[in-house]
Structure 1
Amino acid sequence: MPSATKPNVALVGDRNFLLLLAGQNLSAFGDWFRTVTTIGLIYAWTGSAANLSLLFISSLFPAVVVSSFLGPLIDRFSRRTLMVVADLARVLVGCGFVLLIPLESPALLYLLLAINGAFSGLYLPARSALIPEIIKPHHLSRANSILATSFSAAMLIATGLGGLLADIWSAQTIYLIDAATFLLSAVCLVLINPRRQPTPAKPHVSYLEQVREGMREIKKSRSIQCAIWILMAREAALSVVYVIFSLYILQVVNQGNFGLGLGHTATGMGQILGGLTLAAYFKKRTFTPEHYRRWATLSLLLLGLFHTISYQQGDFSFFLLLVVIANLWYSPIDVLSSTNIMTCAKPEVQGRVFASSLALSRLFYLGGFLLMALIGNALSVTAIAWGMGGFLLLAALLHHILAAKLTAARSDLTVKETYP
């Protein structure tokens, strides 16, 4: 195993990693900067929880469809090039927001969000599959921790500024900034030089068969299934959280856009601290199935517990503190699941595995928003929070049982081997 300091030094001095880090953060900044403004616009125009749910649904459904069927493209073509195409397309979407906002039409906003979501469905699995092409295997867990932490930092800055500036700057100005961030991200990606390229698919294999190959890789690996399960459970719960989060701030404590900015800032702070803690943990440890099982289960449990408690509070300051604590457990789920897939899935099908993982997790995410569209106006925020917490408790227990069986059965294997 490398010394404790070498992984960190290697990543800090790795040009490809730094370019990917910059590109990811610029994209994340643009996404969240736009999201805060869009939430405020939709709520101002409609005042409806159902419409807030539709805002997220319009972004998620196209991402599910695209990632379900375009996985083979990620394994066939340059993942970097696909990411650049996705970023440039989202530049045009940002400009479209600028032109259409004066019409004050939620339907047009949903349409642009759907187009943006479709290209995100291409960008995200391509990004995950690109990481092992530019990062050495023993650096993966730490690299994923740094990427997750920096993503949270970008979200914190973007949402904090978005909430503060939404009442000062016009929506058009914010959407122009959104478009500019994607353009800069594309420039960073163009400069990346991957150390290896994906293996092209065999000419005689049909496109549908290539999709099936990715699904078969998931079916034969219980370890990959566990990693995808914790993502699905978290996404289902967080879609509910995103809606009641806005409702709590805008309705229960009446804090307005400034309160939304503070709330998202607290969310980002928690995710940054969680990511930094995990990065420090893996600085002197290698990734093992036991680490994965223990921390993934604990993260799901504590995520649900603290989110549930936070929405029972009437004091906004105490709510913000609990939001920070709850989100400590967000980044570990991302890092642990992604690293588990990277170490277990064969390189030639990783694009399809990540695409399927994104599709399945976003399908659960979409399901949570559909549920909120039905019950968001009928049940209280506190009641919905209790239901969400109970779901995560059951999900954590199920994950613990499945992962414990894997660890006990294959404890003698290295993390590079795929569990049957």
Structure 2
Amino acid sequence: MIDKKEDKYLLRNKNFILLLISQNLSAFGDWFRTIAAIGLIYKVTGSAANLSLLFISSMLPMILVSTLCSPLIDKYSRKTIMMISDFCRLIIGLSFVFIVVNDLNINYMYLLLAINGVCTGFYFPARSTIIPELVNINHLTRANSILATSFSTSMLIATGLGGVIGEVLAVEYIFLLDAITFLLSGILIVFIKTVKKSSSNQNQPSQSYFQSITEGFKIIRSKPIIQSSIWILTSREFAISIVNIIFSLYILSVVQAGNLGLGLAYLASGLGQIIGGITLAKYFKNKQLSIKFYKTWSSISLILLGILHSLSYQQPYFIVFLILVVIANIWYSPIEVLYTTSIMTNVSEELRGRVFASAISLSRTAHILGFILVGIIGDILPVSTIAMGIGIFLITAGILNRVLLLRQKEHITQTSSLNS
């Protein structure tokens, strides 16, 4: 059983609970908006390229912000950055409503998605970096597992309801709900209290802004386990970007299940990630983050993810597809928890924000490349063929991950016991 003392510590940690609820509120609204936007744009355009443009509009600004503005995340209050990001996304959500109500050109939606991407580019590195300021380092893995599992739960509920509500309510009401969730999320963040940042870097010589940006990449180059952490994240994100498009194409075009089918499929995805998070927490209990343990599970997760994604889109029956989607998504959670815990335990606090920002920037770049690729081939190749390509890529990535870690000497990272 999961260590009850760990859960009691986290459940009594007011700041962690505020972050948990805040994250899930905004995630809930985001998934409502995602289903609404996919359905609306596909209805208007009927094109895989336009679905790719939807995701690119969100991701490209996020990459630029994560890369160029990462020193700001280490310099300024992560809490303040998160609050500003949420309140800006509130305004963006209301702007979505304005566009739909006034029947404006759909291209304005791409512009809003780009601005939203800027805010998200600040929010996610700040959120990842603030966790060690709220939780004792010995509880990081359990905290990350809870955050990942609860995020999947939010997706499970939001997508299930979103598919049904999308068939009943007008799309502007879904966008309004998205805006309200960011308002509530921002208010909750106001009440979070963080531990003051370490002053260990105060006596370090001053750096130019460009030097501060490159500092995160220097840390990545110096540690193979950090390189591996970013590699497994980047490989997963590249695959996800393609899956996001063929996922919608399969449901809306191949089996023609409509928005309800889209909601059920996202429901299956969330269910799989919840199962993965719970299973991960039980198995990882009292395990230590040795290189052998990390190498085994990070590589296995990528390989199985590739095999299962490939098989999912070969199915002519929607119910079989849903079952395989559940099983495939079980393997997302280990990648997320291993990636975040590895960086939190192997990078110093004063540089952690830059490393997380660099990791997010690289993974989102992979996301963009995936969207560009599927935008080109999505209207040419059948979904089943594209899925086979994803499977081959992820299996290869899992093998290369093991090769990358051959350069890392076996050791136990400092205070990195996976007490879950």
TM-score bin (small chain): over 0.9
Aligned ranges 1:381-396 → 2 under 5 Å = 381-396=383-398
Deviation at 1:13, TM superposition (A): 1.1
Structure 2 distance, partners of 1:415, 1:398, is 27
Aligned ranges 1:191-202 → 2 under 5 Å = 191-197=191-197, 199=199
Unpaired runs of 5+ residues, structure 1, are: none
Deviation at 1:143, TM superposition (A): 0.7
Structure 1 distance, partners of 2:4, 2:295, is 26
Structure 2 distance, partners of 1:412, 1:288, is 5
Residue 247 of structure 2 is matched in structure 1 by 245
User: What RMSD in Å do the two structures reach over aligned CA positions?
Assistant: 1.6
Residue 57 of structure 1 is matched in structure 2 by 56
Structure 2 distance, partners of 1:229, 1:283, is 25
Amino acid across the alignment from 1:134:
L
Structure 2 distance, partners of 1:334, 1:105, is 37
Residue 127 of structure 2 is matched in structure 1 by 127
Structure 2 distance, partners of 1:332, 1:204, is 38
Structure 1 distance, partners of 2:286, 2:3, is 5
Structure 1 distance, partners of 2:46, 2:150, is 33
- Contact 1:153-1:269 at 8 Å conserved across structures: yes
What do residues 361-411 of structure 1 show as CA deviations (whole Å, max 9, x unaligned)?
A: 0000110000011100000000000011000011000001222442xx233
What do residues 53-82 of structure 1 show as CA deviations (whole Å, max 9, x unaligned)?
A: 100000000000000011101100110110
Structure 2 distance, partners of 1:305, 1:198, is 44
**Per the alignment, in what secondary structure is the counterpart of residue 196 of structure 1?**
coil
Deviation at 1:31, TM superposition (A): 1.0
Deviation at 1:241, TM superposition (A): 0.4
C-alpha spacing 1:107/1:8, structure 2 compared with 1 (3 Å):
same
- Contact 1:288-1:415 at 8 Å conserved across structures: no
Residue 100 of structure 1 is matched in structure 2 by 99
**Per the alignment, in what secondary structure is the counterpart of residue 410 of structure 1?**
coil
Q: TM-score, normalised by structure 2?
A: 0.95
Amino acid across the alignment from 1:107:
N
What do residues 319-352 of structure 1 show as CA deviations (whole Å, max 9, x unaligned)?
A: 0000000000011111110000000011101000
Residue 333 of structure 2 is matched in structure 1 by 331
C-alpha spacing 1:153/1:198, structure 2 compared with 1 (3 Å):
farther
Structure 2 distance, partners of 1:293, 1:192, is 35
Deviation at 1:287, TM superposition (A): 3.2
Residue 186 of structure 2 is matched in structure 1 by 186
- Contact 1:235-1:365 at 8 Å conserved across structures: yes
C-alpha spacing 1:415/1:292, structure 2 compared with 1 (3 Å):
farther
**Per the alignment, in what secondary structure is the counterpart of residue 19 of structure 1?**
helix
Structure 2 distance, partners of 1:124, 1:110, is 21
Q: Of residues 209, 212, 225 in structure 2, which corresponds to 1:210? A: 212
Aligned ranges 1:4-403 → 2 under 5 Å = 4-101=3-100, 102-197=102-197, 199=199, 204-403=206-405
**Per the alignment, in what secondary structure is the counterpart of residue 28 of structure 1?**
helix
Structure 2 distance, partners of 1:414, 1:205, is 28
Structure 2 distance, partners of 1:40, 1:307, is 23
Amino acid across the alignment from 1:132:
P
Amino acid across the alignment from 1:22:
I
**Per the alignment, in what secondary structure is the counterpart of residue 331 of structure 2?**
helix
What do residues 33-57 of structure 1 show as CA deviations (whole Å, max 9, x unaligned)?
A: 1000000000010000110010000
Amino acid across the alignment from 2:118:
A
- Contact 1:138-1:286 at 8 Å conserved across structures: no
Amino acid across the alignment from 1:158:
A
Deviation at 1:416, TM superposition (A): 5.8
- Contact 1:250-1:256 at 8 Å conserved across structures: yes
Unpaired runs of 5+ residues, structure 2, are: none
Amino acid across the alignment from 1:346:
S
C-alpha spacing 1:196/1:375, structure 2 compared with 1 (3 Å):
same
Farther off after superposition, 370-379 or 200-209: 200-209
Deviation at 1:30, TM superposition (A): 1.3
**Per the alignment, in what secondary structure is the counterpart of residue 287 of structure 1?**
strand
Structure 2 distance, partners of 1:288, 1:179, is 43
- Contact 1:270-1:328 at 8 Å conserved across structures: yes
Farther off after superposition, 7-16 or 78-87: 7-16
Amino acid across the alignment from 1:345:
V
Amino acid across the alignment from 1:317:
I
What do residues 282-338 of structure 1 show as CA deviations (whole Å, max 9, x unaligned)?
A: 333343333221111111011111110010000000100000000000111111100
C-alpha spacing 1:412/1:264, structure 2 compared with 1 (3 Å):
closer
**Per the alignment, in what secondary structure is the counterpart of residue 103 of structure 1?**
coil
Amino acid across the alignment from 2:6:
P
